[in-house]
Structure 1
Amino acid sequence: MDQRAPIPFNRHLTFWALACLGCAADLWSKHYMFSQPDLLAHDIRWMWEGHAGFQLSLNEGALFGMGQGNVWVFASCATAAAVAIPVWLFVFGAARDRGLTIALGCILGGVIGNLYDRLGLPGLQWANWDSARSGTVHAVRDFVLIARRWPPQGQFDVWPNFNVADSLLVCGAIALFLISWRRPDRPPTPESAVAS
């Protein structure tokens, strides 16, 4: 890839639009779900009985709840990623690749959505969730519940609750994996980079 070719304007538009829309969808959906009285009362709102619905939870860890209690480590990593991704794309020129730009736009939207929660910006208080704790909640707000009963009359297996930001992060990571397997037939020219 010719590193001297200018980065097309549509790459900036694509990246920032995906990041902003993804983050907005995440924050709006969290705000909406965490304002529902039945969910705040710890009820489950089933969309498909026994399989998919909504249930509120707070995650002080990372993906699948790993690393519970290390909220500031994850917040620091998210801050570094929020700076590094645009720099890599637009300063070092990785944005010449459309697929990479799309995947990283989704990832940045998810990173910022969850970072907002880790910084305690929603203003939730622990006293409303756990009577043994006090202070501001610095945890990711999750609400999507996926469960299955196995065997059919047995106990539920529940997937860890997640949110829109988590979905963006996972889809972006899968896209990056698939992009890494891509083998172009020939190196792109500056003209093809601008056209795509």
Structure 2
Amino acid sequence: MAEAERIIGTPDVDDDEAAVPAERPKGKRRIIALFAVAVVAYLLDLGSKLLVVAKLEYHEPVKVLGNALELRVIRNAGAAFGLGAAYTVIFTIIAAVVIAVIARLARRLYSLPWAIALGLLLGGALGNLTDRVFRSPGIFEGAVVDFIAPAHFAVFNLADSAITCGGILVVLLSFRGLDPDGTVHRN
């Protein structure tokens, strides 16, 4: 267990200690990590969407793993599973708020694992927000390009994957007791 704690950055804590600051990254490393992860996630999402729209839209789906996975372009005005298509403007506002909250939180961020998690959330939110702002049918009403289509599941994109992975990491870090400010809580 000590090796896993070293990898994710949570120090050993005695049971009688309520909170202990974790080792803080030197300088601005945590902010650089957050924005580096966000930029990589964003660029991968943007590049993949540009590629699939140029090469796959209005074409037959491409089977990647037989019937288990295919690449198929759809435009999703709603949220997950296409729900809430009439509320595209609300999803745009939510994404913008998430981006603002993460940017504000970055100043008080002293945990590298949290920086990675928030970077994934930020990059994914920016990727889908870009679609909602710049794609048809209009500004703030655009449909998100989804193209990864596993069998018997919703079609999604790399931004959705980044958001999901970031969210799972946030939950794991929270269960571990690691706070974004670098403190560790054990109950």
The bucket for the TM-score relative to the shorter chain is: 0.7 to 0.9
Deviations 1:149-182 (A, max 9, x none): xxxxxxxxx3111000000000000000101111
Q: Secondary structure at the match of 1:145?
A: strand
Choose which of 11, 14, 35 in structure 1 pairs with 2:33: 14
Q: Using the alignment, how far apart are the partners of 1:11 and 1:32 within structure 2? A: 31
Q: Using the alignment, how far apart are the partners of 2:87 and 2:26 within structure 1? A: 38
Choose which of 9, 24, 30 in structure 1 pairs with 2:49: 30
Deviation at residue 62 of structure 1 after TM alignment: 1.1
2:69 aligns with 52
1:99 aligns with 113
1:114 aligns with 128
What stretches of structure 1 of length at least 5 have no aligned partner?
Answer: 127-134, 148-157, 190-196
Choose which of 161, 182, 187 in structure 1 pairs with 2:176: 182
Q: Using the alignment, how far apart are the partners of 1:183 and 1:85 within structure 2? A: 19
Q: Using the alignment, how far apart are the partners of 1:9 and 1:113 within structure 2? A: 24
The normalised TM-score by structure 2 is 0.77
Deviation at residue 89 of structure 1 after TM alignment: 2.3
Larger C-alpha radius of gyration, 1 or 2? 1
Deviations 1:89-113 (A, max 9, x none): 21xx1x1122111100010000000
2:99 pairs with 1:82: yes
* Counterpart contact for 1:107–1:168, Cα < 8 Å: yes
The normalised TM-score by structure 1 is 0.74
Of 65-74 and 27-36, the range deviating more from structure 2: 65-74
What is the identity, as a one-letter code, of the residue corresponding to 2:46?
A: L
* Counterpart contact for 1:8–1:96, Cα < 8 Å: no
Choose which of 38, 48, 60 in structure 2 pairs with 1:43: 60
What is the identity, as a one-letter code, of the residue corresponding to 1:102?
A: I
Q: Using the alignment, how far apart are the partners of 1:41 and 1:75 within structure 2? A: 26
What is the identity, as a one-letter code, of the residue corresponding to 1:174?
A: I
Q: Using the alignment, how far apart are the partners of 2:124 and 2:117 within structure 1? A: 11
2:176 pairs with 1:162: no
Q: Secondary structure at the match of 1:54?
A: strand
Q: Secondary structure at the match of 1:160?
A: coil
Q: Secondary structure at the match of 2:149?
A: strand
Deviation at residue 183 of structure 1 after TM alignment: 3.5
* Counterpart contact for 1:7–1:96, Cα < 8 Å: no
What stretches of structure 2 of length at least 5 have no aligned partner?
Answer: 1-19
Indicate how the Cα distance of structure 1 residues 6 and 54 shifts in structure 2: closer, same or farther if over 3 A, else same.
Answer: closer
Deviation at residue 66 of structure 1 after TM alignment: 2.0
Choose which of 142, 145, 148 in structure 2 pairs with 1:144: 148
Q: Using the alignment, how far apart are the partners of 1:160 and 1:59 within structure 2? A: 11
Deviation at residue 6 of structure 1 after TM alignment: 9.1
* Counterpart contact for 2:25–2:111, Cα < 8 Å: no
